[in-house]
Structure formats: structure tokens, C-alpha cells
Chain A
Amino acid sequence: MAVLTYREALNRAMTEEMEKDPNIFLMGEEVGHYEGAYKVSQGMLAKFGEKRVIDTPISENGFAGVGIGAAMVGLRPIIEFMTWNFSLVAIDQIINSAAKMNYMSAGQFPIPIVFRGAGGAGGRLAAQHSQSFESWYAHIPGLKVLAPYTPSDAYGLLKTSIRDNNPTIFIESEVLYGSKGEVPEGEFLIPMGKSDIKREGTQLTIVSWSRALMYVLPAAEKLAKEGISVEVLDLRSIRPLDEEGILASVRKTNKVLIVEEGWNVAGFGAQVAYLIQKEAFDYLDAPIERITQEDVPMPYAANLEKSSLPSEEKIIKKVREMIK
């Protein structure tokens, strides 16, 4: 099995899909000549040419709209946002055009588009460049929202997204691009709406996704050494949501902690908690708990940034309390 970085896995997925289907093109700021702000599209311009790897001016609303228009007539654009922070000036197009076009047109105009790029908290990038928007986009019917953690998931889910006939919000994590993982040889797809048990356990389930797993997995490891058996469920797919996967794990462990990098208020974890209390209330041995980013814009100072995010320590402390 090949070991790839997260960015290489994404690159491989896009490259393979573009080789197969001439309707697919990649568009965004710096995706071509600069080979991607995070180098995800390295080598793609040389391979596919300027017609299919297109540098845009800084105009997120404009090129998001261009992608949607092109998708209306059957092309399959991949639109890269340099980071999801800048998607906010395109959010009108994503919500009001992409998500609703198929519905408003009674099925005449599906929008097979992938919006992808770096999300989440970064290394001391402060308030405007460090935030998680999974919950925002998950709120919208008509969108699909994915947030893979491992290179292998990134590869398999991006390919699925590119082939999907709906607008997909594909949120990569800025700090994961260099992370390495085994990616099976040969082509494979990962279906949307399937979570993955990243670690088996019996006493408590941690539901999480994307970069927050960087804290969750080592915490679970340490807790195991204390004799606390934690199951770690990686959602991978926020919408559609693997309700059955979540419930099966809760029925097994009877306790749930949800860890997310986004904010608490109206955060996606609240939706997961609602699902669990509604469908598996009788299986719960403790209140559902959440660990989220603190309710503040991201500070710059290293210590404050760290203290505002979920961490191994916070998770270990919370799990110990819940297991008592």
C-alpha cells in the first residue's frame, strides 16, 4: 500500500477523475500556475493545460457562480476556495443558486459541482482565517458536506463527490495537508453517509470529524492505557449523516462525547446530540457531552489559540468525568 500525504491523495483523486471525464475542470485562485495555495493541484496544469486548470482573479462570488452556470449545462466543475473563510463572499451563490437550482427547476438543472478547499483552524492565523464552517453548510438542504480526516478517506470521498450529481461542500483541513497515511493501490470510492470507526471501544463513543480527530485519537490511546475503552467514530460525511452508524455505536457504549472544531452554538454536534437522544435515549447512561471551540473569534496568541480549541487534555478530562 502506498503512503500518501493528504494533499497527494486529493491530487490523485482529481487527476484520475479528470483523466476519465473531459467535462471536469478545476477552477480557483492560484490553482494553475502557482499549483495551488496549498499545492493540492501540483502538476495538474502541466498535465491538463489551461483549458481545464483555470486560474481566476480574486472573485469568489463570481467564479463560484461561473462554476454553477457551467454545471447547469452539464459540465462538472471543481471549484477550489483558497480557504473556506473566503467562501463567505460566495455563500450567496452556494446557497441561493447551487443548493436550490435542482429544486427550483423541478429537477431540470442538477448542479454537479464540488466546492473544495482548506478549512478549519490553522497555525495562529487569527480570527478571519481560522474557522470551521461545516455547520453552516450542513444547515442547507440541497448541499452535501464532507470533511475527511485521513488521506485515504480524502481520496475516496473526493472521487465520490466529483461523480455525485449534487453540489458538494468538501472541507479539507489546512493542518492536515502534510499528514501521511496509507492509501490502497488502485481506484476505490467511499460512499457518502458512511462514518468510519477509527478506533473500537466499549465504554464511551467519541463522535468527531476532520482535524478534531488529531486530538481525539491520541486521547483515546492514553485513556486506553488507563483502562478506559473509547470508541472513536469519524463521521467523514456530515450531510448525509450516518445516523445508523452513530446509533449503533451509542447502543454499544451507552455514553457519548462529541468533539468538534467549530463553535458550540448551533454547531453540528448539537444536531448529533438531538439525534441520539431521540433515537437512543434508553441506551444512554449519561448526558451527552460536547467539546467545541470556545465561543470566541480565534485569537492570535499561541496560548490563547490553543486554549480555545479542543485538546487532548480537555478530552481526557471530560471522558474521565463521564466514565466515573
Chain B
Amino acid sequence: MSQPKTKKETEDLLELYRQMLLIRRFEEASAKAYSMGKIGGFCHLYIGQEAVGVGAISALEEKDYIVSTYRDHGHALARGLEPKSLMAELYGKKTGIVSGNGGSMHFFDKKKHFMGGHGIVGGHISLAAGIAYASKYREDGAVTLCFFGEGAANIGSFHEGMNLAAIWKLPLVMICENNHYAMGTPEYRALSVKDVSVRAAAYDIARDHIEGDEVRKVREHVKVAVERARRGEGPTLMEISTYRFRGHSMSDPAKYRTKEELEKYKQGDPLIKAEKDLVSAGWAQEELAKMDEIILKTVEESVDFAEKSEEPPLGWLYKHVYAENV
């Protein structure tokens, strides 16, 4: 994609850059907190994949839905969930987005139509189909966006969800964020295809495949799929190629890949790309640095907020096991 030309285009990219940078800094802070033992459980970072989440989610309207995986920090921030309540959730505090019931893998925000981080690989795909199903049932005009990894494209739930979405022409956009590894398993050892989106043919639905290093390009492509879904023309299966710079989770040193490979992909860091484009469009480096400072401050505040927040009261242990019948 070419550099931004007009002022409007530049400001647009600046906003997308800001969102990506927020994710990067938030995740760096969570990695630090994790290493200090402040965050428990699994913690899957999104660093390197920012352009996918930010680009895709910026193609949506407020009424649209997002369904995510256990790697949900980036998607949640891109959707505008509060860094404070997300960090507090990582800390397991009362003030967390789901008051300490979910942790890293289970962010939910009903108001923002953020329909969860889900921990079973691919299990959320049919849930996404169900949310899209409800939109069709109610004719509310909303589209559901579902993120998953290439590892998930091998599980039954993926295939069943795709088939159901296809036969019912659901307003669903399926985005496979192919970061080339499912935990320690490289794609070529697990996938029968080189490009997950070709599986769309098996369900006779639309497909797309792009590199995920340019945020505006991602948005443009996702928009096409979202509009198609909104017109009632059914689901799209997209593969967006990307890379995670860290291990699968914080506990994974990622020894299964070479330094050279990592370095190669770091050349395509979506943040650096966006930064370059902004600078060549005339944006001053200092202003970007200033933006970074503000973001770092926001993130620091969120850590501070999480640190200072209370743990949930023990009396909440049984809260929400069952919903009230009103």
C-alpha cells in the first residue's frame, strides 16, 4: 500500500499507529509484570501481530461483534477496552474487566460487543457463527468478526462452524491470523494447505489472503469482507499472514525457530512500517516520540491502577456460577 497522501490519510494512519503502539507498550508492560510474578497463568502476547487486530477491527462499526482467542489483549485494546481494566484483569483484581474471573485469556465486554477471549483452540468459531446467526435472526445488520490461528484451522469446530456459516449465509468474517506456529508446531507440519483461505473453496464461500504488516491494507481488505457480510452475501475466510515476535506464551522461549527467521520478520514490523510511512508523509519523529510518551504514561497508569486495586472479595467465589432468573 502506498504512503498516505492527504492530511486526512496521514491522520488516519496516525490513529491506527497510536492503537498499535498502545498494544505494543501494554504487552511489554504485561511481559514485565509477568516476569515479576504479578500476572499468573498463561499470558500469550500479540507483539508483532498488531496490524492485523487494529486494521481489522477498525473496519467495523459499533454494532458489530468481535470474538477472540486466548491471545486477546491486542484485539481488546483495538476495540477500545480500557487498558486499566485489562491490566487489572491480568493482575486478578476486583477492578478487572471481568473482576478477576477470567485473566489473560478471557476478556469480555458486553457494551463494546467484545464477545470474549476463549481458551479452547477453535472452540469459539462456532460461537462466532452463533452470534452471526442471531444477527441474521434479528436482522440487526451487525457483522461478527472472528479471529483464530492457523492451528485452529485443523480442529473440527472450525470446519463445522464454516459449514454452518456457509449454508446459512451468516454475516461472519473469519480471520486466520497465520503466525506460522501453533505453539511449537510450524504450519507445514500440521496444515494440509499452504494458505488456510483456500479451504473456503470447500465451503463455497469467499476468500482472501494478504500479508498483515500494513495496517491500512488489512483494514481495506477486511472492509470488503465486512461489507459482503452486511449485504447478506455470507461469510468470508481470510488468511492474514503475520508473525509473533515472542514465544507462544510467556513461558515459551521459542527455541524451535532461528534467530535469522525472527530477524527477517522483524524487518516487517508493522509499527516500523507505519512509522516510516508517517515520517515520509512529513510527520516529525519527535511528535511520534511524544505520542509514545503519552502511551507509556497511560500504560504505567494502568499498571499502577492494577497494583493498587484490591483482590476480589472471597465472597465473590460463587458469584456468577449461575445467572439470576429475573
Q: Which residues of A contact B (CB under 8 A)?
A: 25, 51, 56-57, 59, 61-75, 89, 92-93, 96-97, 101-112, 141-142, 144, 163-166
Contacts and interface: CB of A to CB of B under 8 A. Distances in A.
A51 B116 CA distance: 27
8 contacts: A69-B67, A69-B128, A70-B131, A73-B131, A93-B123, A97-B123, A103-B321, A108-B98
Contacts of B109: 108
B248 interface: no
Contact of A97 (B118, B156, B324): B118
B164 interface: yes
B110 interface: yes
B191 interface: no
A65 B131 contact: no
A105 B323 contact: no
A62 B157 contact: yes
A25 B137 contact: yes
Interface in B73-127: 98-99, 101-102, 106, 108-110, 115-116, 118-120, 123-127
Contact of B137 (A51, A65, A108): A51
Contact of A93 (B126, B163, B320): B126
B326 to A, nearest CB: 8
A62 B126 contact: yes
Nearest to A25: B137
A164 B99 CA distance: 24
B102 A104 contact: yes
A166 B323 CA distance: 6
A71 B131 CA distance: 8
Contact of B106 (A66, A89, A105, A164): A105
Interface of B: 65, 67, 98-99, 101-102, 106, 108-110, 115-116, 118-120, 123-135, 137-138, 156-157, 160-161, 163-164, 167, 319-326
Contact of A70 (B119, B137, B160): B137
Nearest to B135: A73
B108 A104 contact: yes
Contacts of A68: 126-127, 130
- Residue among B110, B119, B323 with max Cβ neighbours from chain A (10 Å): B323
Given A62-B126, A93-B123, A108 B108 contact: yes
B123 A165 contact: no
Which of B128, B132, B134, B324 has the most chain A CB atoms inside 10 A of its CB? B134
Contacts of A165: 323-326
Nearest to A160: B325
A110 B129 CA distance: 18
B93 to A, nearest CB: 12
A89 B137 CA distance: 26
Contacts of A89: 156
Contacts of A101: 116
Given A57-B163, A62-B163, A102-B323, 20 more contacts: A62-B126, A62-B129, A65-B161, A66-B129, A66-B161, A68-B127, A69-B115, A70-B133, A70-B134, A72-B131, A75-B137, A92-B157, A96-B123, A97-B123, A103-B321, A104-B101, A106-B99, A106-B101, A106-B320, A109-B110
A104 B156 CA distance: 24
B323 A72 contact: no
Contacts of B108: 104-106, 108-109
Nearest to B129: A66
B163 A110 contact: no
Contacts of B101: 103-106
Contacts of B98: 104-106, 108
Contacts of B120: 92, 96-97
Contacts of A57: 163-164, 167
Most buried by B among A68, A71, A73, A103: A73
A67 B67 CA distance: 15
Given A96-B119, A106-B98, A65 B321 contact: no
A106 B319 CA distance: 8
Contact of A61 (B115, B116, B126): B126
A70 B126 CA distance: 10
Contacts of B99: 106
B322 A142 contact: yes
Contact of B322 (A71, A72, A105, A166): A166
